[in-house]
Structure 1
């Protein structure tokens, strides 16, 4: 089914009309983030990393936050990691180093996911230690710090890294709930939600790969957002007053692929474009929607085709704001070139089309690519190309050059 391409001003209404039944809530735009290359370019142009290392974990007030807020654009390829890396060249040394470390962590998450695929949900899996007290809800609304984070997550579709750690630790280490259910809650709402980085962050919180869970306590809230404690009804009976007595968890026997990949070229994709036929369109994926997408850049005169994957979205039931962000991005792209928007099964919607596409390091792309058989497959813009060595931890994976 060919759908009209939304305009930037009516993206939310367009999602309500054409995709509402695939969302878990009423599709509205995030009040803090707009989709599109134009917005991404403006965010990157205004990047100032001065003080980033010291302030990236600040929570409240928002004016103290040092987070760059680039993650939704990086997640969807509107800013690729090499471009973000280069943008830090003139930053103060400490801030540049910390920012690039965070980009490398994102790359590590992609390498891990590209190598293991869905097995990332179990390869580092382990149950959190038994909590010291029982909890009715993993995220109790009576806790001001938790309620504020839930509101920001479900309204803006974004959280600073510090509060992501608070929420995942509260869910798992404090409440002892299953981490995959909490990760799904994040994935439903986060504009930068990806199974690569999101899943790895939750596993790191419970100590998978390190054996040491991340503890969440009142001390951290008092340090990063003291007004949340002052205004909390539980200020005199704080359930996280003391450090959680979770200790360390025993590591599971690791998945063999964590130690060695006998075929690193497979998760890395092609090094140069693989051309089988002349393309008549560019197939866009949610992993790479930017103007600098290699397939888009190589074929500037061809129409771009994006398919809202109906079976996948019906299963995921994402927040409407995530689909609005994608619609805004497609609408922005449509101001510069022809864009076709479709809804249905991706392979069926692309059947009979000779399409160029950029390799995406996610299992869904490889599965669909086998069916679609693109006429040209362009390389993914890696920051570091996947290697055969260990990915059992960030320090084990980290390239030295």
Structure 2
């Protein structure tokens, strides 16, 4: 596959036109929409956009308002997750950025950063097994004919609104992610992996670690107790939706769903054991001629990138993977903007094809990543220089059965000199 032209740098404001056109021309056949229907989501990709967003973060009131859905201007969520997911803002950077916030808000926000770290530790331990029910099979008591055709029915105003935001913005507050997963699997009884795939395809912060963990926790396959989505949550978090709903007098989620749990499954071991962490210092003989970037680590502070400031960066759009995933074009636009922004500061090569084939003649430096795809591809690429992943809390021996057990075991992040 020939080298692709460098993506354009993100335009200021909300003008994503050049990025959309680049994706439509070079990656349009890999998106779930037709090339003419590709749009951008609600975020601009790139380090400059990430740094600007972080500089404007004020989490005052976060503990009170983080679960607010409507009105939008009352939401307390920080909207950092797309930049965290793609390594533009390492968790440590965000952790330190809120050091001066009010104590209760800082504590609650840092809990959420630790949840992201827990998701990465869990994924590093169980890998692709995170795509299967961890502790129990999903409960099917809520399955009914009403939702056979569409587990997210658009005659429910809450579903229409939240699914619409997912499709246009590519981002949701955590509360509405829970609504969608519970409605899909607990209420409608549809297979949770299908719903997780559908959400993942649109989320600009979509990671298998965080998204699968969120679904498993919500529907009870990983937590043992399903989250019951009902009208009560909608009235509390977004009362306007119920007032505007055509089903207001005949709400299908008026009462609580069954809290039945599914049968236990023989899943991966989640007790105390070593969690793969990658190297704790640079490994390999060096002599790289390029830095291999992945979607896990696209920021200027990527360890391999930062250590090799004169080398070109190489990113490969993994064609077989993207053909299988069929992501929304807005996710590809975000990635393209990250690369276009980086190209303003150093040489960037963008390719499309089979990753190992595209890098076959290169000696690359790379940053280890806590995802199974990196492990399998790196065995073929054979980086000559592997850099440590920037953990918030470096993994060791710990249980991953629950967030509380894991956090008690790993303690708090240490200071960095």
After TM superposition, the score normalised by the length of structure 1 is 0.96
2:138 matched residue in structure 1: 127
Q: Compare 26-35 and 163-172 and name the one that shifted more.
A: 26-35
2:373 matched residue in structure 1: 364
2:248 matched residue in structure 1: 235
> CA offset at residue 400 of structure 1?
2.4
1:32 matched residue in structure 2: 42
CA RMSD of aligned residues (A): 1.3
> CA offset at residue 389 of structure 1?
2.0
1:58 matched residue in structure 2: 68
1:22 to 11, 25, 30: 30
Q: Judge conservation of contact 2:118–2:403 (CA < 8 Å) in 1.
A: yes
1:147 matched residue in structure 2: 160
Distance 2:200 2:222 in 1: 21
2:271 matched residue in structure 1: 259
2:217 to 182, 188, 204: 204
Matched residue of 1:342: which SS?
strand
Distance 1:203 1:366 in 2: 24
Q: Compare 342-351 and 381-390 and name the one that shifted more.
A: 381-390
1:11 matched residue in structure 2: 19
Distance 1:25 1:170 in 2: 25
Distance 2:170 2:41 in 1: 9
2:305 to 290, 296, 304: 296
> CA offset at residue 130 of structure 1?
1.0
> CA offset at residue 26 of structure 1?
4.0
User: Which structure 2 residues correspond to residues 39-78 of structure 1 after superposition, within 5 A?
Assistant: 39-78=49-88
Q: Judge conservation of contact 2:272–2:399 (CA < 8 Å) in 1.
A: yes
> CA offset at residue 290 of structure 1?
0.3
Distance 1:151 1:123 in 2: 28
Matched residue of 1:149: which SS?
helix
Distance 2:107 2:34 in 1: 40
Are 1:2 and 2:7 an aligned pair? Answer: no
> CA offset at residue 61 of structure 1?
1.0
Distance 1:25 1:123 in 2: 30
Distance 2:34 2:161 in 1: 21
2:356 matched residue in structure 1: 347
Runs of 4+ in 1 over 4 A off after TM superposition: none
Which ranges in structure 2 are unaligned for 5 or more consecutive residues? 12-17, 413-417
1:307 matched residue in structure 2: 316
> CA offset at residue 7 of structure 1?
1.0
Distance 1:80 1:152 in 2: 26
Cα 1:112–1:31 shift into 2, 3 Å: closer
Distance 1:302 1:368 in 2: 21
2:15 matched residue in structure 1: none
Deviation per CA, 1:29-62, whole angstroms, max 9, x where unpaired?
4352110000000010011010001000000111
> CA offset at residue 353 of structure 1?
0.6
2:411 matched residue in structure 1: 400
Are 1:225 and 2:225 an aligned pair? Answer: no
Distance 2:225 2:138 in 1: 12
Cα 1:237–1:184 shift into 2, 3 Å: same
Matched residue of 2:208: which SS?
coil
Cα 1:165–1:96 shift into 2, 3 Å: same
Q: Judge conservation of contact 2:141–2:260 (CA < 8 Å) in 1.
A: no
Are 1:328 and 2:337 an aligned pair? Answer: yes
> CA offset at residue 246 of structure 1?
2.9
> CA offset at residue 133 of structure 1?
4.1
Distance 1:123 1:247 in 2: 16
> CA offset at residue 132 of structure 1?
6.7
Distance 2:268 2:202 in 1: 30
1:174 matched residue in structure 2: 187
Cα 1:275–1:116 shift into 2, 3 Å: same
Deviation per CA, 1:242-288, whole angstroms, max 9, x where unpaired?
111233444434422x1143x53xx2000001122311111000000
Cα 1:123–1:270 shift into 2, 3 Å: farther
Are 1:282 and 2:295 an aligned pair? Answer: no
Q: Judge conservation of contact 2:286–2:365 (CA < 8 Å) in 1.
A: no
Matched residue of 1:236: which SS?
helix
Matched residue of 1:283: which SS?
strand
